[in-house]
């Protein structure tokens, strides 16, 4: 019986040593997983920051585009108004009996006065 108890104790010690080694490996894997998770979180935070920067720049570009479109529209309207005023002056000259040249007629046509 003593011999059997000794064999079982040796086998139990062997399993105990294997268990300790498995715990040690699990700790190493857990440490590596924690490190990788931390790297992932840092990368995700950096990606979030880049995305916020991108969205902010994109919004600013839309604002600039809108401002540019408004300026272009304003300039077009000013040119159209100037052309209308010029056409009105030409029309008044015509009504007063002055002779109009081809360019004057083109301006009247463009302004919708003909």
Of 71, 69, 68, 113, the C-alpha closest to 90 is: 113
Q: What is the pLDDT of residue 78?
A: 95
Q: From CA 81, how far away is CA 85, in angstroms rounded?
A: 6
Whole-angstrom CA distances from 103 to 23, 64, 85, 91 are: 96, 38, 15, 13
Burial class of residue 78, CB neighbours in 10 A (0-12, 13-18, 19+)? exposed
Q: What is the pLDDT of residue 95?
A: 87
95 or 45, greater pLDDT: 45
Name the residue ranges covered by the structural domains of the chain.
1-111
36-88 tens-digit pLDDT: 999 999 999 999 999 999 999 999 999 999 999 999 999 999 998 999 899 99
Its pTM stands at 0.55
Question: Which pLDDT band, with edges at 50, 70 and 90, does 21 fall under?
Answer: very high
């Amino acid at each position: 019986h003593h011999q059997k108890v000794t064999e079982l104790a040796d086998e139990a010690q062997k399993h105990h040593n294997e268990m300790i080694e498995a715990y040690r490996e699990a700790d190493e894997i857990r440490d590596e997983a924690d490190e990788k998770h931390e790297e992932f979180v840092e990368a995700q935070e950096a990606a979030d920051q880049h995305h916020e920067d991108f969205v902010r720049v994109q919004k600013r570009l839309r604002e600039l585009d809108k401002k540019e479109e408004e300026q272009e529209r304003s300039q077009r309207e000013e040119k159209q108004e100037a052309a209308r005023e010029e056409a009105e002056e030409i029309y008044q000259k015509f009504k007063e009996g002055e002779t109009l040249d081809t360019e004057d007629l083109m301006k009247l046509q463009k302004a919708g006065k003909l």
